[in-house]
Amino acid sequence: MSSDEESLFFDEMSDVVPLKREGRVRLDKKRHRDSSLDQRREAATLDKRDDGNILTEDGLAIAPLDPWYVLDYKRPGVQNGVFRRLKQGRYEAEARLDLHRMTTRIARKELFEFIQESVRLGIRSVIIIHGKGESKAERERSSILKGCTDHWLRELDQVQAFHSAQPRHGGTGAVYVLLRKSEGKKRENREMFMKGRVPYDG
Protein backbone atom coordinates (compact mmCIF):
# COMPACT_ATOMS: atom_id res chain seq x y z
CA MET A 1 0.00 0.00 0.00
CA SER A 2 1.49 3.40 -1.07
CA SER A 3 1.66 6.41 1.29
CA ASP A 4 -1.10 8.14 -0.74
CA GLU A 5 -3.38 5.12 -0.45
CA GLU A 6 -2.63 4.83 3.26
CA SER A 7 -3.50 8.49 3.95
CA LEU A 8 -6.69 8.12 1.86
CA PHE A 9 -7.67 5.03 3.90
CA PHE A 10 -7.15 6.86 7.24
CA ASP A 11 -9.16 9.86 5.94
CA GLU A 12 -12.08 7.54 5.06
CA MET A 13 -11.94 5.75 8.42
CA SER A 14 -11.47 8.86 10.60
CA ASP A 15 -15.09 8.94 11.85
CA VAL A 16 -15.30 5.20 12.59
CA VAL A 17 -15.47 4.37 16.33
CA PRO A 18 -13.93 1.00 17.35
CA LEU A 19 -16.29 -1.46 19.06
CA LYS A 20 -15.88 -1.90 22.78
CA ARG A 21 -14.67 -5.37 23.67
CA GLU A 22 -16.29 -6.85 26.76
CA GLY A 23 -14.29 -8.94 29.16
CA ARG A 24 -14.52 -12.69 28.71
CA VAL A 25 -16.48 -14.78 31.21
CA ARG A 26 -15.75 -18.48 31.75
CA LEU A 27 -18.98 -20.47 31.38
CA ASP A 28 -19.89 -23.44 33.52
CA LYS A 29 -20.64 -25.97 30.76
CA LYS A 30 -22.89 -28.12 32.95
CA ARG A 31 -25.00 -25.16 34.03
CA HIS A 32 -25.29 -23.44 30.65
CA ARG A 33 -25.68 -26.48 28.40
CA ASP A 34 -28.68 -26.24 26.07
CA SER A 35 -31.56 -27.77 28.08
CA SER A 36 -33.49 -28.58 24.88
CA LEU A 37 -30.53 -30.69 23.75
CA ASP A 38 -30.67 -32.58 27.06
CA GLN A 39 -34.41 -33.12 26.59
CA ARG A 40 -33.92 -34.44 23.05
CA ARG A 41 -31.21 -36.82 24.23
CA GLU A 42 -33.42 -38.08 27.07
CA ALA A 43 -36.38 -38.57 24.69
CA ALA A 44 -34.19 -40.52 22.26
CA THR A 45 -33.03 -42.79 25.10
CA LEU A 46 -36.61 -43.37 26.24
CA ASP A 47 -37.71 -44.14 22.66
CA LYS A 48 -35.06 -46.86 22.43
CA ARG A 49 -36.25 -48.44 25.67
CA ASP A 50 -39.97 -48.07 24.99
CA ASP A 51 -40.65 -50.96 22.63
CA GLY A 52 -44.34 -51.06 23.50
CA ASN A 53 -43.88 -54.21 25.56
CA ILE A 54 -46.41 -54.02 28.42
CA LEU A 55 -45.41 -57.30 30.07
CA THR A 56 -44.14 -57.23 33.66
CA GLU A 57 -40.38 -56.73 33.47
CA ASP A 58 -39.20 -58.12 36.78
CA GLY A 59 -39.49 -61.86 36.20
CA LEU A 60 -38.11 -62.55 39.66
CA ALA A 61 -41.15 -60.84 41.21
CA ILE A 62 -43.41 -63.47 39.56
CA ALA A 63 -43.89 -66.64 41.58
CA PRO A 64 -42.41 -69.80 39.98
CA LEU A 65 -44.85 -72.65 39.40
CA ASP A 66 -44.52 -76.35 40.06
CA PRO A 67 -43.54 -78.30 36.89
CA TRP A 68 -46.76 -80.36 37.17
CA TYR A 69 -49.09 -77.39 37.82
CA VAL A 70 -51.79 -77.09 35.12
CA LEU A 71 -52.21 -73.64 33.57
CA ASP A 72 -55.88 -72.81 33.12
CA TYR A 73 -57.35 -69.43 32.08
CA LYS A 74 -60.31 -68.11 30.09
CA ARG A 75 -61.63 -64.60 29.65
CA PRO A 76 -65.31 -63.83 30.24
CA GLY A 77 -67.23 -64.32 26.99
CA VAL A 78 -65.22 -67.32 25.77
CA GLN A 79 -67.68 -70.17 25.26
CA ASN A 80 -67.22 -73.26 27.40
CA GLY A 81 -67.26 -75.51 24.31
CA VAL A 82 -64.45 -73.48 22.72
CA PHE A 83 -62.39 -73.66 25.91
CA ARG A 84 -63.01 -77.41 26.22
CA ARG A 85 -61.75 -77.99 22.66
CA LEU A 86 -58.68 -75.84 23.40
CA LYS A 87 -57.72 -77.81 26.51
CA GLN A 88 -58.26 -81.10 24.66
CA GLY A 89 -55.76 -79.97 22.03
CA ARG A 90 -58.37 -80.06 19.27
CA TYR A 91 -57.30 -76.74 17.75
CA GLU A 92 -54.27 -77.20 15.55
CA ALA A 93 -51.43 -74.89 16.61
CA GLU A 94 -50.67 -72.61 13.65
CA ALA A 95 -47.45 -71.32 15.26
CA ARG A 96 -45.14 -72.32 18.08
CA LEU A 97 -42.68 -70.57 20.39
CA ASP A 98 -40.02 -72.43 22.38
CA LEU A 99 -38.75 -70.54 25.46
CA HIS A 100 -36.39 -73.34 26.57
CA ARG A 101 -33.11 -72.12 28.09
CA MET A 102 -34.04 -68.44 27.65
CA THR A 103 -33.51 -65.87 30.39
CA THR A 104 -36.70 -64.20 31.63
CA ARG A 105 -35.61 -60.94 29.95
CA ILE A 106 -35.28 -62.58 26.53
CA ALA A 107 -38.40 -64.74 27.06
CA ARG A 108 -40.45 -61.61 27.86
CA LYS A 109 -39.38 -59.97 24.59
CA GLU A 110 -39.88 -63.15 22.51
CA LEU A 111 -43.32 -63.94 23.93
CA PHE A 112 -44.60 -60.39 23.45
CA GLU A 113 -43.38 -60.15 19.85
CA PHE A 114 -44.64 -63.67 19.06
CA ILE A 115 -48.20 -62.87 20.22
CA GLN A 116 -48.24 -59.50 18.40
CA GLU A 117 -47.01 -61.07 15.16
CA SER A 118 -49.46 -63.99 15.42
CA VAL A 119 -52.41 -61.62 15.83
CA ARG A 120 -51.16 -59.46 12.94
CA LEU A 121 -51.02 -62.55 10.72
CA GLY A 122 -54.54 -63.63 11.74
CA ILE A 123 -53.33 -66.73 13.64
CA ARG A 124 -55.83 -67.92 16.25
CA SER A 125 -54.22 -70.91 17.94
CA VAL A 126 -50.58 -71.20 19.07
CA ILE A 127 -48.50 -73.30 21.44
CA ILE A 128 -45.81 -71.96 23.77
CA ILE A 129 -43.24 -74.34 25.24
CA HIS A 130 -41.93 -73.06 28.57
CA GLY A 131 -40.42 -76.36 29.71
CA LYS A 132 -40.90 -78.65 32.65
CA GLY A 133 -37.29 -79.35 33.60
CA GLU A 134 -35.43 -82.63 33.62
CA SER A 135 -32.45 -81.67 35.82
CA LYS A 136 -32.65 -79.65 39.07
CA ALA A 137 -31.00 -76.56 37.53
CA GLU A 138 -33.24 -76.74 34.45
CA ARG A 139 -36.31 -77.34 36.62
CA GLU A 140 -35.69 -74.09 38.52
CA ARG A 141 -35.45 -72.07 35.31
CA SER A 142 -38.44 -73.84 33.74
CA SER A 143 -40.64 -73.24 36.76
CA ILE A 144 -39.74 -69.53 36.64
CA LEU A 145 -40.51 -69.38 32.91
CA LYS A 146 -43.74 -71.27 33.49
CA GLY A 147 -44.80 -68.75 36.16
CA CYS A 148 -43.83 -65.86 33.86
CA THR A 149 -45.74 -67.36 30.91
CA ASP A 150 -48.86 -67.75 33.07
CA HIS A 151 -48.54 -64.16 34.32
CA TRP A 152 -47.64 -62.54 30.97
CA LEU A 153 -50.41 -64.21 28.95
CA ARG A 154 -53.01 -62.79 31.36
CA GLU A 155 -51.62 -59.28 30.72
CA LEU A 156 -52.27 -59.42 26.97
CA ASP A 157 -55.75 -58.43 25.74
CA GLN A 158 -55.18 -60.45 22.56
CA VAL A 159 -55.12 -63.68 24.61
CA GLN A 160 -58.62 -65.13 24.97
CA ALA A 161 -57.74 -68.33 26.81
CA PHE A 162 -54.91 -70.76 27.54
CA HIS A 163 -54.46 -74.21 29.01
CA SER A 164 -51.58 -76.62 29.65
CA ALA A 165 -51.07 -78.95 26.70
CA GLN A 166 -51.97 -82.62 26.31
CA PRO A 167 -49.11 -85.12 26.96
CA ARG A 168 -48.60 -85.59 23.19
CA HIS A 169 -47.84 -81.88 22.85
CA GLY A 170 -45.58 -81.46 25.89
CA GLY A 171 -48.01 -81.78 28.81
CA THR A 172 -47.48 -79.28 31.63
CA GLY A 173 -44.28 -78.10 29.94
CA ALA A 174 -46.29 -76.35 27.21
CA VAL A 175 -49.46 -74.30 26.89
CA TYR A 176 -52.14 -73.94 24.21
CA VAL A 177 -53.10 -70.30 23.60
CA LEU A 178 -56.26 -69.06 21.88
CA LEU A 179 -55.92 -65.57 20.38
CA ARG A 180 -58.50 -62.96 19.57
CA LYS A 181 -59.41 -62.45 15.92
CA SER A 182 -57.56 -59.59 14.28
CA GLU A 183 -59.65 -56.73 12.86
CA GLY A 184 -58.65 -57.86 9.36
CA LYS A 185 -59.97 -61.38 9.99
CA LYS A 186 -63.21 -60.05 11.47
CA ARG A 187 -63.74 -57.89 8.39
CA GLU A 188 -62.92 -60.81 6.10
CA ASN A 189 -65.46 -63.01 7.91
CA ARG A 190 -68.15 -60.31 7.68
CA GLU A 191 -67.52 -59.94 3.94
CA MET A 192 -67.75 -63.70 3.41
CA PHE A 193 -70.94 -63.82 5.45
CA MET A 194 -72.52 -60.97 3.48
CA LYS A 195 -71.69 -62.41 0.01
CA GLY A 196 -74.89 -63.16 -1.82
CA ARG A 197 -77.05 -61.59 0.90
CA VAL A 198 -79.32 -58.66 0.15
CA PRO A 199 -79.63 -56.06 2.96
CA TYR A 200 -83.13 -56.10 4.46
CA ASP A 201 -85.01 -52.80 4.25
CA GLY A 202 -87.75 -52.88 6.84
Per-domain boundaries in the chain: 60-188
Q: What is the pLDDT of residues 16-61, one digit of tens each?
A: 666 666 556 555 555 545 555 555 555 544 444 466 898 988 766 7
Q: Where are the alpha helices (DSSP H) in the chain?
A: 3-12, 29-32, 35-49, 80-87, 104-120, 136-155, 183-194
For residue range 98-129, list pLDDT tens digits in order: 998 899 999 999 999 999 999 999 999 999 99
The pLDDT value recorded for residue 179 is: 97
Q: How far apart are CA 66 and CA 175, in angstroms?
A: 14
Task: Tell me what pLDDT residue 48 has.
Answer: 43
pTM reported for the whole predicted model: 0.66
60-188 maps to CATH 3.30.1370.110: yes
Q: Report DSSP state, residue 181.
A: P
